[in-house]
Amino acid sequence: MRIQISESFGYRKLVRFTIPTITMMIFTSIYGVVDGIFVSNFVGSEPFAALNLIFPAVMMLGAVGFMIGTGGSALVAKTLGEGRPKQANQYFSMLILSDIISGLALTAGGLLALRRVALFLGATGTMLEDCVLYGGILLIGNVAFMLQNSFQSFLVVAERPQMGLVISILAGVTNMVFDFLLIYVFRLGLAGAAWATVLSQVVGGIVPLIFFLRKNSTPLRLVRCRFDGRALWKSCMNGSSEMVTNLSMSLVNMLYNMQLMKYAGSHGVAAYGIIMYVSFVFVATFLGYSIGVSPIISYHYGAGNKGELKSLFRKSLVLIIASSVVLTGAAELLSGGLAGIFVSYDKELLAMTTTAIQLYSISFLMNGVNIFGSAFFTALNNGVVSAMISFLRTMLFQVATILIMPLFWGLNGIWFAIVAAEALALALTVIAFAVNRKKYQYI
């Protein structure tokens, strides 16, 4: 039986509704990890370091898709809650078209700037050529990647989170199968990993596009639309926190890599790449829940259901805090095994990576609440507070800790920087909850 976002949600129904999106995000993270496993074990540690050096820069472009998807889905869900389905579909269609146009422009710009970006990050010689090769192929799939990011949110508004999960699984299987074929069987190396990722993005972005272009039984469908600058601006402002999060993560990842090249060389970059793969899988739980619950919050906010809004806020915090404790414990216990999946062939790198995961994973105790806090205010159509939490958490606090802490604790200071940054962000998120409680009456 399909759950509708207009319903009242207890713990069980809330978990049932968000589980497909959580699973989708985890699975998406896992199939991204497969690239790293194949490249590290079958191509080599140097190409693996090149992949991790350029990957954040390319992913920055996909942040626009997250912005349009999260900010636009909040607007569309709110409009549905206000009883205006025709207008909601106009907004939805215009936003998807904006995704495609902006994606093409960003791809062209990215291809022109790619080599200079790789040089700026410190790549030279063979590593530079590997960066340009891998990044150039990934950029070919940028439009599909942006659509995939947007549809993750819109499929929840359309009350089809299960479909989002199925599409994510199809995209993941595509990536894994072609990783095996192109890297292991046909020996295409780093290029094979890049093409496998592009093919998976095409599945993730184009399949839902075709679904919404056809008649369907969901509240959403792609229709003829006209440009609405005000709606686009509102969606971008409202979703700016998610774009800031993704841009900041990419910029911070690049800063991490630059610091690690200074303190530990290519081994440090490789270790950080493994941490990112591990982190993506664990943090995907919080991201998936936040994406899944946001349209419900937006709908009930638009409909003026204050009692349900209070219930959603309270239940969400309970679920997230409980998950944070469990996931942190799991990461600490499994740190050695997780590192071994990638670099069991190098004892020195294995030891460095295990220690790094143990220090970095302490941040999981806090970042779940911070991620939900930013998403919660996006769902309430308050992009300013959401962006403030996101920017300070993912950019300012991390940049400061990454630059300062290694001066006192060396390499371990780099691994522990995220913990200090998330602690500062948690204090900010709690303050934001307290300051805005009367305005939105969620407490």
DSSP string over 130-171: HHHHHHHHHHHTHHHHHHHHHHHHHHHHTT-HHHHHHHHHHH
Q: Tens of pLDDT along 196-233? A: 999 999 999 999 999 999 999 999 999 999 999 999 99
Q: Tens of pLDDT along 23-45? A: 888 877 777 678 888 998 899 88
Q: Which residues contact 332 (CB under 8 A, 6 or more apart)?
A: 358, 361
What is the Cα 409 distance to its own chain's centre? 29
Whether the per-residue pLDDT at 142 is higher than 70: the answer is yes
Structural domain harbouring 406: 11-440
Q: Which amino acid, residue 207?
A: V
For residues 114 and 133, give the distance between their C-alpha atoms in angstroms, rounded to a whole number: 10
Higher pLDDT, 44 or 352: 352
In a domain, 198, yes or no: yes
For residues 400 and 405, give the distance between their C-alpha atoms in angstroms, rounded to a whole number: 8
Structure tokens at 261: 């090249």
In the numeric block, the tokens 């939490």 are attached to: 389
- pLDDT for position 53: 86
In the numeric block, the tokens 């990536």 are attached to: 175
For residues 214 and 212, give the distance between their C-alpha atoms in angstroms, rounded to a whole number: 5
Whether the per-residue pLDDT at 415 is higher than 90: the answer is yes
Q: Tens of pLDDT along 333-343? A: 999 999 999 98
In a domain, 270, yes or no: yes
C-alpha torsion 83→87→90→95, nearest 10: -70
CA-angle at 403, arms to 55 and 37, nearest 5°: 30
In a domain, 5, yes or no: no
Whether the per-residue pLDDT at 241 is higher than 70: the answer is no
Counting the structural domains of the chain, the total is 1
- pLDDT for position 1: 58
In a domain, 380, yes or no: yes
Q: Are 272 and 417 in contact (CB under 8 A)?
A: no
In a domain, 18, yes or no: yes
Q: Mean pLDDT across the stretch 283-289? A: 93
In a domain, 387, yes or no: yes
Q: Which amino acid, residue 381?
A: N
Q: Mean pLDDT across the stretch 419-431? A: 97
In a domain, 168, yes or no: yes
Choose among 365, 351, 354: nearest CA to 275.
354
